[in-house]
Amino acid sequence: MKVLVTGGSGFLGLEICRRLTARGVATSSLGRRPSTALERLGVRQHLGDLADAHAVSRAVAGCDAVIHNAALAGVSGPSRLYWATNVLGTRNVVEQCRAHQVRALVHTSTASVVFRPGGLEGVTEDLPYPSRHLAAYPRTKAAAEALVLRAHSPELATVSLRPHVIWGPGDPHFAPALARAVRGGRLLMPGDGGNLVDTTHLRTAAHAHLLALDRLRQSPGIGGRAYFISQGDPRPLREIAHHFLRAAGIDARWCAVPPRLATAAAAVSDAGLRVVRSPRPLALSRFLVAELLHPHHFDLTAARRELSFEPPIGFEAGLAELARTAPPAFDDSENTPCPTPTTPSVPS
């Protein structure tokens, strides 16, 4: 079997490539820059942009299956950037899969495609997309997922996976953002952090992708659906943040920013970015503040039933692994009270 992984040099994409090559699968990747890590794995690298249909065609040609993992992620920024990569890029992948008679397509989506103010508590995949998304990233990822699911057919079996907050050794996103948000031993965050949040270890996310690929090839009838993927272990956000910081050697106390103040500051930031057309994907936004304030955890029954999914590593074991592998971080903790904030400092 020959499998193409788009975004194979990324955090999740590289782990998927590791697992495929360990199986002896002929693996290739489509990305914008060469990767020494992929080279060491023996992965064939195609260089190009998802928005370039010819580049996608060259990468897809000769493959039996595609794992479409590449995307532009962020909590703010103009829609045009997200649309080009996440929607037009996904459309190119689907069209080239059809053109080159690829039999199976696994799409990496996100649980954020159904997120709405008020949060998500034990929701199933039957929950529809909201009428209005708070940011371009979840809006374009929802459009991309819909494209993939509509493409499911006897000729091309498709499935979309929705992992949430992927973390683990080498995490370039969530844990580093938390570390950057610490000031003087204080982590300034909107709300009290009591909202329950489920997360996804890197190995769990990659494991789910290979399960989905196997199941699509064996039983294409399970396709045309989206599946939530996570640890199935929701915990208070404050506890998660504490554990991730401790794994990096940082002691910090949660300092609550009043929700109304955080939301107002995010609305101002969103408006300012629209005016100046800033491309900054990690700026403060209403989407980020809403996700930090509200619960988000999911019913995994469908993935367990249809994909035989179970997390291969638990939250505690993942934390122990993270602590062993995390690079040392500067701990600037002080025993000082929380200041009265003017602008909340929150992670991406």
Positions marked active-site: 137
- Please, which residues bridge with residue 95 across strands? none
| Residue in 75, 125, 116 with CA at minimum distance from that of residue 284 | 75
How far apart (Å, rounded) are the C-alpha atoms in residues 292 and 149? 29
Cβ(133)–Cβ(286) under 8 Å?
Answer: no
User: Which stretch of DSSP H or E encloses residue 95?
Assistant: helix 89-99
Give residue 269's identity as a one-letter amino acid code: S
Is 122 in a helix, a strand, or coil? strand
Give the separation between CA 15 and CA 125, rounded to whole angstroms.
Answer: 26
For the chain, count helices (H), then strands (E): 13, 16
Q: Which amino acid is at 156?
A: L
**Side chain identity at residue 297, one-letter code:** H
Please give the backbone phi and psi of residue 259, each rounded to the nearest 5 degrees, phi first. Answer: -55, -40
Residue 157, SS3? strand
Dist CA 201 CA 99 (whole Å): 34
The 10 Å Cβ neighbour count of residue 172 is: 9
Q: What is the DSSP string of 23-81?
A: TT-EEEEEESS--HHHHHHT-EEEE--TT-HHHHHHHHTT-SEEEE------SSS-HHH
**CA angle 217-223-225, nearest 5°?**
150
C-alpha dist (Å) from residue 82 to 135, 151, 157: 10, 21, 25
Q: Which residues contact 286 (CB under 8 A, 6 or more apart)?
A: 134, 135, 263, 266, 267, 270
Six-digit token string for 212: 């989905």
